Structure 1
């Protein structure tokens, strides 16, 4: 997988209370990914970018909410997130990988 596709597949980490609990307890990390990304692409992108071994990838398609606006009803964009499970002993350090 080329470097350009890696950055198109992984859009960024998804920070939430549930994601923090998973990272601390089960060695899982949550990422926002492209809606057309496959599990294999996500696995290769994480392994290449963070230099870790991934054991499992689960993806979830999140439907955008319908919201009322001044001009009527509007809809937020649909998006996709991936739950990444790392091999035992592996860890992702977001601060050192940003440099």
Structure 2
């Protein structure tokens, strides 16, 4: 699996914006990715030094659309903590 396939997209919300101030960045990652693969992908793609990675599987939610029931997809979320003082410039708008 290449580094571009490990990280799918960043998760942007009010809560993740507050977490970025603490040096924690949240990403939607491939369901088969491991912590080591995510840390290495962040290190290579953004030229930063990740300290830790916490991962969780977010279950799909039930949805209804015009009398049809269904579910959203299950996805995996990774919270990556960087060394003190480091930032990912892509998120900072620089």
Gaps of 5+ in 2: none
Partner of 1:7: 4
Partner of 2:77: 81
Task: State the secondary structure of the residue aligned to 1:81.
Answer: strand
CA distance in 2, matches of 1:12, 1:32: 5
Question: What is the TM-score of this pair, normalised by structure 1?
Answer: 0.87
Partner of 1:61: 57
Q: What value does the CA root-mean-square deviation take over the aligned residues?
A: 1.6
Number of residues paired by the alignment? 92
Structure 1 segment 16-27 matched on structure 2, within 5 A: 16-24=13-21, 26-27=22-23
Partner of 2:27: 31
Deviations 1:6-45 (A, max 9, x none): 1110001100111000001x11000110111000000000
Question: What is the TM-score of this pair, normalised by structure 2?
Answer: 0.91
